[in-house]
Amino acid sequence: MNLQDMTPQSYDRYLSPLFAAEDEALRAAREEMQREQLPGISVSASEGKLLHVLALISGASRILEIGTLGGYSTIWLARALPPEGRLISLEIDPHHAEVARRNIQRAGLTQKVEVRTGPALEALAKLAVEDRALFDLIFIDADKDGYVEYLGKAVPLLRDGGLILGDNTLPDAVLNPKADSGTKRYNAAVADHPDLVSILVPVLRSNGIDGLLISLKKKR
Ligand code: SAH
Ligand code: DHB
Ligand code: MG
């Protein structure tokens, strides 16, 4: 046994079928995204399952997602909701939003999920003035240059003890250590944040390793 001989691909081939097998709705969602020529940048099945388990652990009944694409991560997250739970997902591209709504409907989640079309910053400003309960979990996965601003808007919308999850936060930092990037600025802002306790966890993609930055909002 030699850890150096292991590749991310070999890990993924083992654990994804065992713990993150896709059912018909998830498979159909991926096929539909391909047919509609959406970019192949959804979370992997195993990261989807990680999102699902984190949502269950935190007992989330209100989830906010920033960056819907075709709704693949949306389905993993929304399936962790209790019967009265709700997820709002923000998407700037009307075509992505339309594909996502179809995929969410096929998964039987229309009653729980609302996809809001438009720039996330505008949607977040609206959410801040809506008379609504705080979110239990916020998944940040839209344009990487927006991450730091999304963090600033997300923290006040999150309950104490809630989770903020930041996708795609590892590769830039490791592959381009000198270059500036939105996710690196996000990682630094999270690491410095007085209200958050955080860890960046490597996650498997079929083509390599990415990262999910997990942050818990402390009680002040
Ligand atoms: N969460 C998805 C992947 C999201 S990909 C999944 O894992 O299944 C990133 C998405 O963010 C794209 O669909 C893109 O159109 C959207 N996006 C980019 N900039 C945005 C913005 N300013 N506001 C809202 N969505 C944005
Ligand atoms: C990429 C991957 C993502 O999960 C995402 O949200 C945006 C971009 C990428 O690999 O380029
Ligand atoms: Mg992503």
Per the CB < 8 A criterion, the answer to whether 45 and 26 are in contact is yes
Is the pLDDT assigned to residue 4 strictly greater than 90? no
Tens digit of each residue's pLDDT (9 = 90 or more) over 50-96: 999 999 999 999 999 999 999 999 999 999 999 999 999 999 999 99
Bridge partners, residue 80, by sequence: none
Is the pLDDT assigned to residue 48 strictly greater than 90? yes
Q: Cα(101)–Cα(105) distance, rounded to whole angstroms? A: 6
Residue 141 Cβ < 6 Å to ligand 2: yes
Burial tier of 216 (Cβ tally within 10 Å: 0-12, 13-18, 19+): middle
Query: Which of left, alpha, beta for 142 (phi over 0: left; psi -120 to 50: alpha)?
Result: beta
- How confident is the model at residue 82, as a pLDDT? 98
Residues of the chain with pLDDT > 70, as a percent, come to 100
CA of 48 to the centre of ligand 3 (A): 11
CA of 60 to the centre of ligand 1 (A): 22
Residues whose beta carbons lie less than 5 angstroms from ion ligand 3: 141, 167-168
Residue 136 has which token pair?
A: 């239990």
Q: From the centroid of its chain, how far is CA 116?
A: 16
Is the pLDDT assigned to residue 218 strictly greater than 90? yes
Q: Cα(67)–Cα(193) distance, rounded to whole angstroms? A: 23
In ligand 1, the atom with minimum distance to the C-alpha of 69 is 13
Tens digit of each residue's pLDDT (9 = 90 or more) over 122-181: 999 999 999 889 999 999 999 999 999 999 999 999 999 999 999 999 999 999 988 999
Query: What would the mean pLDDT of 24-35 be, rounded to a whole number?
Result: 98
Angle between helices 45-57 and 8-19 (to 10 degrees): 60
| Helical ranges in 107-157 per DSSP H | 120-129, 147-157
Residue 199 has which token pair?
A: 């860890």
For a mutational test of ligand 1's pocket, the pick from 22, 93, 122, i.e. the residue with the most ligand atoms closer than 8 A to its C-beta, is 93
- What pTM does this model have? 0.98
